[in-house]
Structure 1
């Protein structure tokens, strides 16, 4: 089996692979640095029927199999999902830090009932390349995020990472709350508001993290797979399909 890896690309040094086997996958929510911006994000979610969080930031530990490296295509079980561009911090088991871009793809209907369930319901794609954090730490607030949706990549999100909590502070909060020792860590640092204040499903999602003269990009198509779709019957042995057809459950 091919192990999940991301290639880190340090300036002036050879690239190398980051081994993310058994990585702890953590998604942080409501990580806005500015309270006014955070309130705007909460208001955005309220329009979707999502209640305000009891405290911030919210921190979710997710199963590592939800992490997907530059998949090109993701599968979801609902038309009510959408991507969210986020900077993603990767910490190797030895402690070295790297940053890349990812999408906290989320089920918006489930979000109205449970933040945790909405995060668990969708894959978490990240780009296949990263930068050493030390190379951008002194200008972190200059980095920018953007996202586009559907085939024409209509602008969807665009903001500086300065709108989000300092990554070192958020990492310290995660280490305080969770036992992260001895494992690689993949930490989604939070998203920025959508441009039209309305999260929406799209058949394609593209996002980027931008430094002064370089960028990391991630793009993927979104397929909705209905578990009850008759087109999946060919995957089920005939005897099982026949039995399922007579079930009263």
Structure 2
């Protein structure tokens, strides 16, 4: 699938149409074992079985990726989680912000299926990866959830608690370069106050070294479950 984005580099801004052939979710991609165990327990509390190995790479249909401002989900059991997104194109890597929006009820009996149930929103702007690679661990991911009309901080932490992209890619490709047309969501941080649904989800990737941010905001429309 094709997705129009904007590359915001230190030298300026350039539109670029990305050809996404493979969408991959890197689950349980924590470098900080304590934080990862916290997230595993969060999901266990919802009935999700702990993984046999970490990280686990879940394949999702590429057309689930979207820069739209609203997604539609069946029922009220879905929720988002902020993640960095690494995209390979033209022999280069780009980094953006996204949300692994997942149906938590389905996740209790099939994680792979649950990943396929919901669209995966991404911000329409990315940075060249080589501009942030030298100070990657200083990047900060945040999210806010609006539930019942109240907006609150939902997640916050540096990516130092997650596996480095080079490590994630090497594990996924068994040491090869990431193929062009591949997008990988690279893991998340624990939710403040527990995993829960809402009406609006906001994400942010902050680069404190180069003083810039990437943003993503989307609404969740709940569809009825009939039968």
Structure 1 window deviating more from structure 2 (206-215 vs 21-30): it is 21-30
User: Are the aligned partners of 1:24 and 1:180 in contact in 2 as well (CA < 8 Å)?
Assistant: no
Counterpart CA distance in 2 for 1:3 and 1:190 is 24
**TM-score scaled to structure 2, two decimals?**
0.93
What is aligned with 1:73? 70
Secondary structure in structure 2 of the residue aligned to 1:39:
helix
- Superposed CA deviations along residues 184-234 of structure 1, whole A, max 9, x for unmatched, are 1111001110011x11110110010001211100001100112539xxxxx
Counterpart CA distance in 1 for 2:136 and 2:176 is 25
1:158-173 → structure 2 map (5 Å cutoff) = 158-173=156-171
User: Are the aligned partners of 2:82 and 2:143 in contact in 1 as well (CA < 8 Å)?
Assistant: yes
Match of 1:125 among 108, 111, 121: 121
Match of 2:80 among 56, 79, 83: 83
Instruction: Give me the CA root mean square deviation.
Output: 1.9
Secondary structure in structure 1 of the residue aligned to 2:9:
coil
Secondary structure in structure 1 of the residue aligned to 2:105:
helix
- Larger Rg over CA atoms: 1
Query: Where do 5+ consecutive residues of structure 1 fail to align?
Result: 230-249
Matched pairs, number: 223
**TM-score scaled to structure 1, two decimals?**
0.85
What is aligned with 2:130? 134
Counterpart CA distance in 2 for 1:169 and 1:105 is 23
What is aligned with 2:204? 208
**Alpha carbons of 1:209 and 1:180: their partners in 2 closer, same or farther (altered >3 Å)?**
closer
Counterpart CA distance in 1 for 2:43 and 2:218 is 24
Secondary structure in structure 2 of the residue aligned to 1:52:
coil
1:44-59 → structure 2 map (5 Å cutoff) = 44-59=42-57
**Alpha carbons of 1:22 and 1:136: their partners in 2 closer, same or farther (altered >3 Å)?**
closer
Match of 1:219 among 211, 217, 220: 217
